[in-house]
Amino acid sequence: MVFKVTILGSNSAIPTIKRNPTAQIVNHNEHLYLVDCAEGTQVQLRRNRIKMQRINHIFISHLHGDHFFGLIGLISSMHLLGRKKDLHIYGPPQLEDILNLQLEVSLTVLNYPMIFHPINPDAHDLIYEDANLTIKTIPLKHSIPTCGFIFKEKKGKRKIKKDAVQTYNIPKDQMLNLKNGEDFIDEEGNRIENKQITDDPFPIRSYAYCSDTNYYEKIIPLIMGVNLLYHEATFTKDFEEVARAKFHSTSADAATIAKKAGVEKLLIGHFSTRYETVDQLLDEARKIFPNTDAVTDGNVYEIE
């Protein structure tokens, strides 16, 4: 089951020719989730050959422009290109007013249902769920109400071993019980232990997205042990005071959180435009948490 993150924007604040501001596509089981949507995101989708109409769920972390100014354009393009199916948007309540006002002034009645789900950025709420995945909010510490999102697979079913069906002559109607961990009683009444018939399920995988935020230890228990953590790292250590004042993080902050939360891998992004290269940001993070990557627009990270 595919689980990967495509970076559509890695800059903070301002779009440049090289780096777009924040947007990401999380692909879980071929369902596409858009996380934040800066100006230019729809072109970034084209550039990365991701079909915009495949996106059914959009999550907006907060109402700073570099995280949502591209949303109204994406919604409009989906409309102009003939979308019919539901689009679910999760974000701060005022976002709905902003979208509706802009649709009203252009006398646009969308061809498709746009379903807005207001979120409470101060809570750790379950906001999305399907058979295989949950998405919860992560309260962050920023200058306006802001939350991250954690994507976590549900506990998988046990996998029936290749030859077991034939060996034990297992009828179809017993399969689900076995996948759920029950033992098998064969036709002669023999009990065969579940472990003999099934393998352990795939481990539960998870991805946490934390942008924008100051250094904030309260998120640690919420993201403990995730496979992949994206944590903003707007500044280098020499701008730590600026970072604190602007409710942003240094790359050392991001790495410290990653280390304390025992995550597998850290991605840093949301870089200040002051940095021509990200070398210093990455070096400072890796000294604390070696398994760190600095993201670039177009990067894809698979969660194995």
Q: Which residues are catalytic?
A: 66
- Shortest distance, CB of residue 104 to its own copies, whole angstroms? 8
* Residue 81 within binding range of its own copies, rule CB under 8 A: yes
Question: With contact defined as beta carbons under 8 Å apart, do 115 and 86 qualify?
Answer: yes
Nearest CA to 117 among 160, 56, 74, 69? 56
* Residue 94 within binding range of its own copies, rule CB under 8 A: yes
The burial class, CB within 10 Å (0-12 / 13-18 / 19+), for 302 is exposed
* Residue 56 within binding range of its own copies, rule CB under 8 A: no
Please count the CA atoms within 13 angstroms of the CA of 215 that sit on its side-chain side: 19
DSSP code for 231: E
Q: Which is nearer to its own copies, 65 or 171 (CB)?
A: 65
- State phi, psi for 266 to the nearest 5 degrees: -115, 135
Encoded one letter per residue, x for contact with its own copies by CB under 8 A and - for no contact, window 24-43 reads: ---------------xx-xx
- Shortest distance, CB of residue 165 to its own copies, whole angstroms? 50
DSSP code for 68: T
Q: Please identify which residue in 6, 28, 92, 147 interacts with its own copies, judged by CB under 8 A.
A: 92
Q: Which stretch binds its own copies (CB under 8 A): 58-66, 147-155, 201-209, 216-224?
A: 58-66
C-alpha dihedral, 2 to 297 to 62 to 149, nearest 10°: 20
Q: Which is nearer to its own copies, 15 or 139 (CB)?
A: 15
Binding site residues, its own copies, CB under 8 A: 13-17, 39-40, 42-43, 46-47, 63-66, 69-70, 72-73, 76-77, 80-81, 92, 94-95, 97-98, 101-102, 105-107, 143-144
